[in-house]
Amino acid sequence: MNNTVIMTPREIVQELDKHIIGQDEAKRAVAIALRNRWRRMQIKDPVLRNEIMPKNILMIGPTGVGKTEIARRLAKLAGAPFLKVEATKFTEVGYVGRDVEGILRDLIDISVKQERELAMKKVEHLAEDAAEERVLDVLLPPPRMGLTSSEKDSSTRQVFRKQLREGALDNNEIEIELSASQVGVEIMAPPGMEEMTNQLQSMFQQIGSGRTKTRKLTIAKAMKILREEEAAKLINEEDIKTRAIENVEQNGIVFIDELDKVAKRAEHGGGGDVSREGVQRDLLPLVEGTTVSTKYGMIRSDHILFIASGAFHVAKPSDLIAELQGRLPIRVELSALNVEDFVRILTEPSASLTEQYAALMATEGLELTFDKTGIRRIAEVAWKVNERTENIGARRLYTVMERLLEVISFEATDRAGEKVHVDAAYVEKHLGKLVDDDDLTRYIL
């Protein structure tokens, strides 16, 4: 696992606090779950270590309060294979749509990519040197009888090497022999047939492997391609696959969003909810622990952490089938956001919304500033609109800010050098009429 995962629960919460306002209970739950992955790996007894299963989490809360954002930030902190999926994308086996086993196939793809990038980084200096030598061989072709080491490091070669490293030759064109790119065959997988199409694709990709072709490129582009080629020669693909599978099995995290959309509404009876319940039943073995066949090998899901979330406006957590409820033992409720939360969202997080808009306008030479009264009025408008129409949480701030700054965004180029100060009066002038008119609010904000 990445070093960031060795952070304590308190440090993880502090890191999440930089980006997400409130929702302390949810932050604590994911911080403990993340730390427990590391704790389990420290246990010396392999039998006991294998018996400790992750405690899966169900996050319940209205839309726009931070459920998905917690998952997104957790992915960056985790340093582990992380996948976010929507439950609504999957269907019961036998119906048109994706099979839930595709979750693990996507997760192993992510893990292999991570491991390959790490392996490439370890050999980047060697790859850089090898690429440099290949370019120098083109610029200064060796004599047919071969070179001695003293000739190879001749003063002329050293001059070219210095120019190459300084970027003085970047725009020069050279003809160089490169590996022929693999046949680009993209096969669109029918739902549920991903495994077969993966096998077909790998078969097509082997066609033409090992061939080379001469291309005319600038030295800068040639160096980039050669670095990748040389790095690929230095890494062991089998080791990458082995590490990737182990990383998925021991440290993988899957975030399943919109779980409430596949819950069977009690008041609807048995009718058209067969596929919804089927998705839940298909998720059961995956969440509890099963083996799935992928193009990289068999993967067990016993120790993968599953975090599910849903608004549960219409359906309730109790509408999920009992077996799935039992596999999500930790329940966390996220609270709806109020005016104070909106004020904090606009000012406290790193790269807050106000900071983003100010930076965008600064590129045009326009100075945009917000004062406390303006920020509070924006928060009040967003909260008021949420109360009177659909409550979409913090996402309403995007709509309000876009509407508020629409004129400035359009005219920014012509107003370079000006200063625009957003206070309560400015917000009232641009949004006051919209907020007071219910019909306009529904369509515009």
pLDDT-derived band at 264 (thresholds 50, 70, 90) equals confident
Q: What share of the chain is helix, strand, coil (3-state, %, to 5)?
A: 60, 15, 30
**What's residue 143's pLDDT?**
65
Mean of pLDDT values over 141-159: 66
Q: Where is mean pLDDT largest: 5-9, 33-37, 272-276?
A: 33-37
**What's residue 95's pLDDT?**
67
Q: How high is the mean pLDDT of the chain? A: 87
Half-sphere exposure of 129 (CA within 13 A, CB side): 4
Return the exposure string of 366-396: e unless at least 16 CB atoms fall within 10 Å of the residue's CB, then b.
bebebeeebbbbbbbbbbbbbeeeebbbbeb
**What's residue 206's pLDDT?**
65
In tens, the pLDDT along 385-412 reads 999 888 999 999 999 999 999 999 999 9
**What's residue 144's pLDDT?**
59
Q: Are 98 and 24 in contact (CB under 8 A)?
A: no
**What's residue 213's pLDDT?**
81
Whole-number Cα distances in Å, 303 to 33, 37, 107: 12, 9, 13
**What's residue 1's pLDDT?**
54
Q: Are 80 and 252 in contact (CB under 8 A)?
A: yes
pLDDT-derived band at 4 (thresholds 50, 70, 90) equals very low
Does the domain formed by 339-434 have CATH 1.10.10.10? no
- Give the residue numbers of the binding site for ATP: 21, 64-69, 257, 323, 395
Q: Which residue from 221, 218, 232, 239 is spatially nearest to 126, judged by alpha carbons?
A: 232
CA torsion, ordered 124, 127, 133, 134, to nearest 10 deg: -130
Whole-angstrom distance, CA of residue 178 vs CA of residue 248 = 34
Mean of pLDDT values over 264-271: 60
**What's residue 3's pLDDT?**
47
- The residues near 392 (Cβ < 8 Å, ≥ 6 apart) are 63, 64, 386
- Give the residue numbers of the binding site: 21, 64-69, 257, 323, 395
**Percent of the chain scored above 70 by pLDDT?**
86
**What's residue 119's pLDDT?**
95
Pairing verdict, β 57-60 and 82-86 = unpaired
Of 265 and 225, the one with more pLDDT:
225
Query: Hey, how many other C-beta atoms are within 10 angstroms of the C-beta on 80?
Result: 24
Q: Are 230 and 127 in contact (CB under 8 A)?
A: yes
Category of 351 on φ-ψ map: left (φ > 0), alpha (ψ -120 to 50) or beta: left
**What's residue 191's pLDDT?**
53
Whole-angstrom distance, CA of residue 301 vs CA of residue 100 = 12
**What's residue 438's pLDDT?**
73
Whole-angstrom distance, CA of residue 94 vs CA of residue 192 = 9
Could you tell me where the beta strands, DSSP code E, fall in 329-376?
330-333, 367-370
Mean of pLDDT values over 66-71: 90
**What's residue 178's pLDDT?**
83
Query: DSSP assignment, residue 416?
Result: T
**Domain residue spans of the chain:** 3-113+248-333, 124-234, 339-434
pTM value? 0.83
Burial class (CB in 10 A: 0-12, 13-18, 19+), 329: exposed
**pLDDT(145) > 70:** no
Q: Are 104 and 248 in contact (CB under 8 A)?
A: yes
Architecture of the domain spanning 3-113+248-333: 3-Layer(aba) Sandwich (3.40)
In tens, the pLDDT along 281-293 reads 999 999 999 999 8
Whole-angstrom distance, CA of residue 79 vs CA of residue 1 = 6
Whole-angstrom distance, CA of residue 262 vs CA of residue 228 = 44
**What's residue 310's pLDDT?**
94
**What's residue 434's pLDDT?**
80
User: At 209, phi and psi to the nearest 5?
Assistant: -70, 145
Of 285 and 197, the one with more pLDDT:
285
Token pair of 268 as six digits? 């609807």
In tens, the pLDDT along 14-34 reads 999 999 999 999 999 999 999
**What's residue 51's pLDDT?**
94
**Least confident segment among 155-164, 258-267, 286-295, 323-332:** 258-267
**What's residue 205's pLDDT?**
64
Whole-angstrom distance, CA of residue 226 vs CA of residue 127 = 8
**pLDDT(222) > 60:** yes
| Residue 150: strand pairing partners | none
pLDDT-derived band at 433 (thresholds 50, 70, 90) equals confident
Amino acid at 336: A
**Percent of the chain scored above 90 by pLDDT?**
60
Return the exposure string of 407-433: e unless at least 16 CB atoms fall within 10 Å of the residue's CB, then b.
ebbeebeebeeeebebbbebbeebbee
**pLDDT(172) > 90:** no
**What's residue 237's pLDDT?**
92
Of 266 and 125, the one with more pLDDT:
125
Q: Which residue from 421, 443, 439, 441 is spatially nearest to 431, judged by alpha carbons?
A: 441
Of 94 and 56, the one with more pLDDT:
56
**What's residue 276's pLDDT?**
78
Mean of pLDDT values over 147-169: 76
User: At 382, phi and psi to the nearest 5?
Assistant: -60, -45
Amino acid at 56: N
